[in-house]
Amino acid sequence: MAKTRSLRWSLPALLLAGQAHATEIQFNMTPGVTDISQQVYNLHMTIFWICCAIGLVVFTAMFVSIILHRKSRGVTPATFHESTKVEIIWTAIPVLILILMAIPATRVLIAMEDTSDSDVTVLVTGSQWRWHYEYLDYDIDFFSILATPRGQIEGRLPKGQNYLLEVDRPLVIPTGKKIRFLMTSDDVIHSWWVPAFAIKKDTNPGFINEAWTRVNEPGIYRGQCAELCGMDHGFMPIVVIAKEPDDFAEWVEQEEARIAAIREEEQRLLALRMNLDEQMELGERVYLAHCAACHQPNGTGLPPMFPALKDNHVTTQDRAEHIRVMVDGRPGTSMASFARQLSLRELTSVITYTRNAWGNDTGDVVQAVEVYEYMQSKGE
């Protein structure tokens, strides 16, 4: 009894504490959780105070002049102008201040650029509007997409504490190790930004950028895409969980097992026949998470950029084309390939869903084996 009560009291207290933290107004840059981010913060504050000092001198002179040297006080204007001595002084002093600023700035910049001797390498790939993480040292890769429900965005549900800064699968990295990030993109330019690490690096399609971090404290760190990348630029957050090396090793094991299990299930699935209800239920979930941003929850799309799926030739008639588009994407448009983004089960269900939702009513029940065969036929 006593135990339940303490639990009942502590839970809301915990939630409240969390919320108070979220709404606490932050005025300044975060010092972050890495040595580099701390150096960046210190540099920021140094430059900031120097700028304040310069501002103070200039504005004091100006306001003293405004107060004392006004016509209403009956002053007569002086006639002095041009003074080489004064001009040299106010050119030389700023140059000296700038040199003082440039020295620590150069030091920090060079430290940030050294990506050698890393322990773990993660390939970060941006695409409209999700992140893909691939661990080059392990057999792990996955997509990371916004987890905030549309209801919260549209105001039908109360907004959660991490509104717009939450994802379905966060990136997990070990603390104390040097993590090297390789950055690229599948479509437009995105920018991978985690303020707590002081990393912001553009992901350029066709090119690879590098960055690195060494996180000192375990925790959850959140960031966002920082380069305008189209319609849902504001809806592609980044969440990184830093774990102690032992916990990280455990996570790697679990994740590898999970991915192996999915592959096994895919093989089993090929022999199975899924019924319509089952597929509609899963398909709707997948659709809302992955497709609705462009094609809209009711399938009407935003033509001409994002075509309607309702009453569409492909989704109501051409079944083979439908599977092809889902697996290959449409090159040169925002329609990405979903072959790697979704499991076979999800892929199959979402095709079935779009062939039967919003009055498309084809009655088609696509089976996993059909999709699988197409993928095999092109050597996926």
Partner 1 sequence: MSTVTTADHHDAHHDHKPTGIKRWLFTTNHKDIGSLYLLFALAMFFLGGAMAMVIRLELFQPGMQFVEPQFFNQMTTMHGLIMVFGAVMPAFTGLANWMIPMMIGAPDMALPRMNNWSFWILPFAFLILIISMFLPGGGPDFGWTFYAPLSTTYSNDSTALFVFAIHIMGISSIMGAINVIVTIVNMRAPGMTWMKLPLFVWTWLITAFLLIMVMPVLAGLVTMVLTDKYFATSFFDAAGGGDPVLFQHIFWFFGHPEVYIMILPAFGIISAIVPTFARKKLFGYASMVYATASIAILSFLVWAHHMFTTGMPVYATLFFMYTTMLIAVPTGVKVFNWVATMWRGAMTFEVPMMFALAFIVLFTIGGLSGVMLAIAPVDFQYHDTYFVVAHFHYVLVSGAVFSLVAAAYYWLPKWTGHMYDEKLGQLHFWCSVISVNLLFFPMHFVGLAGMPRRIPDYALQFADFNAFISVGGFLFGLSQLIFVWVLVKCIRGGEKAPAKPWEGAEGLEWEVPSPAPYHTFDTPPQVK
Within residues 21-40, the interface with partner 1 by CB under 8 A covers: 22-30, 39-40
Q: Which of 11, 15, 220, 305 binds partner 1 (CB under 8 A)?
A: 305
Interface pattern 165-194 for partner 1 (x via CB under 8 A): x-----------------x---xxx-x-x-
Q: The tokens of 146 are what?
A: 């916004």
Contact between 4 and partner 1 per CB under 8 A: no
| Burial class of 18 by CB neighbour count within 10 A (0 to 12, 13 to 18, 19+) | exposed
Which H or E run contains 52? helix 35-68
Q: What residues between 40 and 79 interact with partner 1 by CB under 8 A?
A: 40, 43-44, 47-48, 51, 54-55, 58-59, 61-62, 65-66, 69-72, 75-79
Return all residues near 92 (Cβ < 8 A) that are at least 6 apart: none
Q: How many CB atoms lie within 10 A of CB 40?
A: 24
Helix (H, G, I), strand (E, B) or coil at 28: coil
We find the least distance from the C-beta atom of residue 139 to partner 1, in angstroms, to be 28
Query: Rounded to the nearest 5 degrees, what angle is found at the Cα of 31, between the Cα atoms of 30 and 37?
Result: 110
We find the least distance from the C-beta atom of residue 76 to partner 1, in angstroms, to be 6
Nearer to partner 1, 75 or 249 (CB): 75
Q: Which of 7, 95, 103, 271 binds partner 1 (CB under 8 A)?
A: 95
We find the least distance from the C-beta atom of residue 130 to partner 1, in angstroms, to be 15
Nearer to partner 1, 201 or 295 (CB): 201
Q: How many CB atoms lie within 10 A of CB 101?
A: 15
Q: The tokens of 251 are what?
A: 């996570």
Contact 187, 127 (CB under 8 A): yes
Q: Minimal CA–CA distance to 222: which of 181, 191, 183, 194?
A: 194
We find the least distance from the C-beta atom of residue 312 to partner 1, in angstroms, to be 16
Please confirm whether the linkage preceding 49 is cis (ω < 30° from 0): no
Contact between 5 and partner 1 per CB under 8 A: no
Q: What residues between 312 and 351 interact with partner 1 by CB under 8 A?
A: 332-334
Return all residues near 261 (Cβ < 8 A) that are at least 6 apart: none
Q: What residues between 128 and 167 interact with partner 1 by CB under 8 A?
A: 128, 152-155, 159, 161-165
Q: Which stretch binds partner 1 (CB under 8 A): 108-116, 134-142, 257-265, 360-368?
A: 108-116
Contact between 220 and partner 1 per CB under 8 A: no
